[in-house]
Amino acid sequence: MDSSWLKNFRAQFGKLTLKVSRTTCYREVKLTPLPHLNMKSKLLISILLISYCHTLFAQAQPPSIPATDRIRLAEAFRLADEIGDRVWQDWSKVPFAVLLVTPDYEFLVGHPKPSAHFVRARYDAFLKSDVYYRRRTFPITFLATFPLDNTMISTVVVGPAENTWVKTSTPWVITLLHEHFHQLQDAQPNSFADVNSLNLSHGDQTGMWMLNYPFPYDRKEVQDQFALMSRLLADAIRSPEVERSNKVREYLQARRKFQAIISTDDYRYFSFQFWKEGVARYTEYQVAQAAAAKYKPTKEFAALKDCRSFTDVAQSTYDAVINQLLTQRLGGSKREVVYSFGAGEALLLDTINPGWRNAYFTDKFDLAKFYPE
């Protein structure tokens, strides 16, 4: 507060005392009025001081996570705690660190080692975590997982549901589990070194090669064979048991032909993407299905106006995978095809090699390793 203003105030109205606590953000303002002031002047001064103190107190409070986003985050954490280890062994041992990107601030939750860029706001009992914040640096449409601020701890960076492509609460929660599965992938021993050993970055040190690799999406031969292979994969997934062996054989023949018409690096890239992103999409389905069977949402989450049942989300996720296998085209969708295709392969493996997930993190980067010879 400006000292000259304070002197003038004291001379006209009385002694003003301010007490400020930096740790609690508590401020005490006490006025000892001069005896010559009438009641009207005292009342006016009180009103002005109340307004001033309210402004000071509001400025002193750290920002907080919006109420709806806080409910969604808490549901994702609770769902991971109750369902995660049923889907993937030891998933609960991996930090579920999330950076929620809002219009003005970013809130870091569940991170074991926040960097110096963040300020601690409070412990949130509903989220069961300390909450840290900083001014926004990422777009509010963001939805990705990567090590944050030069740490090796993968962090889900995500905007509110309405600002991401998923739009509503329940798919947003399930998508956070997709991203949390990437944290499980990244937490495996030597994960980053193993990815680098694929030799697909071609000098890129940012990781953007995973999105921008020059796969031959526009080659007609590759497009046609991928479309055939995708249709046969959908047929094999949906085939009755008496027809499954023949359907799987037809699919694997088409898959081997696809591998033969692209380069070794191109095959390695797509195989890696099927393994990484496709199985993460498959995990969305498995989590939603498990939640539909054995999970009861909190009353706060169920009360959200856009809440959908996990049964509905599980079915829509499965239907989308099958529909995309039948309709999407490599030339138009480009890298986006890896999500449904890898998820489809995982669904097929569940029927012909139910134990494949036990070796998923050791026999890495190519789901073909799990098919019968």
Residues 6+ apart with CB under 8 A from 310: 170, 174, 288, 289, 291, 292, 295, 297
* pLDDT score for 24: 38
* pLDDT score for 207: 83
What CA–CA distance (Å, rounded) separates 370 from 352? Answer: 9
The number of beta carbons lying within 10 Å of the beta carbon of residue 115 is: 14
The one-digit pLDDT tens for each residue of the chain (373 residues) are 444 544 554 555 555 444 444 333 444 445 455 455 556 555 555 555 555 444 444 446 899 999 999 999 999 999 999 999 999 999 999 999 999 999 999 999 999 999 999 999 999 999 999 999 999 999 999 999 999 987 889 999 999 999 999 999 999 999 999 999 999 999 999 999 999 999 999 888 788 999 999 999 999 999 999 999 999 999 999 999 999 999 999 999 999 999 999 999 999 999 999 999 999 999 999 999 999 999 999 999 999 999 999 999 999 999 999 999 999 999 999 999 999 999 999 999 999 999 999 999 999 999 999 998 7
Residues 6+ apart with CB under 8 A from 2: none
* pLDDT score for 23: 38
First to last CA, the chain: 79
Q: What is the DSSP letter of 93?
A: G
Inter-CA distances, 250 with 236, 241, 245, 286, 340, Å: 9, 15, 9, 26, 19
Inter-CA distances, 68 with 141, 143, 181, 304, 312, Å: 17, 18, 23, 8, 21
pLDDT digits (tens, 9 = 90+) for 232-248: 999 999 999 999 999 99
* pLDDT score for 58: 44
What CA–CA distance (Å, rounded) separates 223 from 74? Answer: 42
Cα angle 328, 247, 237 (rounded to 5 degrees) comes to 55
pLDDT digits (tens, 9 = 90+) for 38-76: 565 555 555 555 554 444 444 468 999 999 999 999 999
Residue 133: left if φ>0, alpha if ψ -120 to 50, beta else—which one?
beta
What CA–CA distance (Å, rounded) separates 135 from 351? Answer: 48
* pLDDT score for 14: 52
Q: Are 65 and 74 in contact (CB under 8 A)?
A: no
* pLDDT score for 18: 47
Closest to 325 (Cα-Cα) out of 345, 311, 352: 345
Task: DSSP for 338-369, please give it.
Answer: HHHHHHHHHHHHHHH-TTGGGGTTTS-S-GGG
- Three-state SS at 263: coil
